[in-house]
Amino acid sequence: MAPPAALSQDAFAGALRGLAKYYWDRHPFHVRLHEGGCGPDEIRSWVANRWYYQRCLAQKNAAIISRCPLPEVRRMWLPRVRFYDGAHEEEGGLAEWLVLADAVGLSREEVLDERHVLRGVRFAVDGYLHFCQTRPWTEGLAAALTELFSPELMSRRLDAWRRHYDWIKPDGLTYFETRIAVARGESADTLGLVLTHCQSAEQQQAALAALRFKCDVLGAMLDAIDYATTGG
């Protein structure tokens, strides 16, 4: 039997985009969050648990490029590490997430010591980081393609939080205001890299599996948060 043929770039891009149905925007927790159905404690749990994911992102981006032999790709990817860590103390995406935490009523100390991080969230995020540390760099890139779906979700979140949760301090929304435009640009770059460097059928299938895995990581995080905040 002949091995499966590789997809054309257009068909491969369509297959990657088709995994949007597994993204976490349709999770019951996100639906409730955007409809104004979450109380303060639920939002605080989401912010505190998402911190653990946010904290992993600079590490996973560094892990991807540490496995990549191509300097042109490493140069393109390196700003993603700095986005979260910042060029200086109190700058970058992690610093902006701590501002969000303050805006919803969480102290810096309780976020940084991760007392609220659920074991299901910790397990999912640790699994994602391990994936990027051990799998081929092209699969790490593909897993990051949830960026294709995130700008629209963040835009809806901004609108929903402003409409339904006026108790959240407005300056806490800076992370999302900044990240939406960045994610749009990064998603185009990432898709281009994946299409360029995943050309065999085997590489393409591995990339699709990696993106599906990342969607499952995000869904597992929300499963844990939803269960913990609603009592199952």
Identify the three-state secondary structure at position 91.
coil
pTM for this entry: 0.94
C-alpha torsion angle, residues 215, 121, 34, 170 (rounded to 10): -120
Percent of the chain with pLDDT over 90: 84
End-to-end CA distance of the chain: 48
Q: Is the pLDDT of residue 180 over 90?
A: no
Q: Give the separation between CA 211 and CA 19, rounded to whole angstroms.
A: 8
* Mean confidence (pLDDT) of the chain: 94
Confidence band, pLDDT 50/70/90 cuts, at residue 2: low
Could you tell me the pLDDT band of residue 83, with boundaries at 50, 70 and 90? confident
Residue of 192, 189, 188 whose CA lies nearest to 12: 192
Q: Are 176 and 162 in contact (CB under 8 A)?
A: no
List, for residues 104-160, the tens digit of each pLDDT value: 999 999 999 999 999 999 999 999 999 999 999 999 999 999 999 998 998 999 999
pLDDT at 56: 96
Question: Tens digits of per-residue pLDDT, 10-19?
Answer: 999 999 999 9
